[in-house]
Amino acid sequence: EADIYQTPRYLVIGTGKKITLECSQTMGHDKMYWYQQDPGMELHLIHYSYGVNSTEKGDLSSESTVSRIRTEHFPLTLESARPSHTSQYLCASSEYGLAGGTDTQYFGPGTRLTVL
């Protein structure tokens, strides 16, 4: 099983609050991803990173921001939470790049966010 951690696992918060979802991996993976998933639905990529100090927005428009100051850490921040942000947020990491190999994505357990 992969060593990728997310905290908190569950979060209920009021509208307008600033929140940071934590994601850490101990595998030394260069690539990390944030996905948003509503119950029973597909995963939508919101941010990804292919190394320290490199981040890109995914295909799903998001009001969140990310940072990648250390290889193992990829936090996601919502400056002002809204009810529309209620969802599950999944963090993932992978090792191999475009050169080949199996770039398996290892997923964390997720954070279930509810914004009231």
Partner 1 sequence: GQQVMQIPQYQHVQEGEDFTTYCNSSTTLSNIQWYKQRPGGHPVFLIQLVKSGEVKKQKRLTFQFGEAKKNSSLHITATQTTDVGTYFCAGRTSGTYKYIFGTGTRLKVLA
Q: Which residues bind partner 1 (CB under 8 A)?
A: 31, 33, 35, 40-45, 48, 50, 56, 58-59, 90, 92, 97-98, 102-110
Cβ at position 38, least distance to partner 1 in Å: 11
CB 91 within 8 A of CB 4: yes
| Cβ-based nearer residue to partner 1, 19 or 33 | 33
| Cβ-based nearer residue to partner 1, 19 or 32 | 32
Rounded to an integer, what distance in angstroms lies between the CA atom of residue 30 and that of residue 62?
Answer: 23
| Cβ-based nearer residue to partner 1, 72 or 108 | 108
Rounded to an integer, what distance in angstroms lies between the CA atom of residue 53 and that of residue 111?
Answer: 24
| Cβ-based nearer residue to partner 1, 19 or 46 | 46
Cβ at position 116, least distance to partner 1 in Å: 22
Q: What are the C-alpha distances in Å from 67 to residues 23, 24, 72, 116?
A: 11, 12, 11, 26
| Closest among 90, 103, 95, 98 to 29, alpha carbons compared | 95
Cβ at position 23, least distance to partner 1 in Å: 12
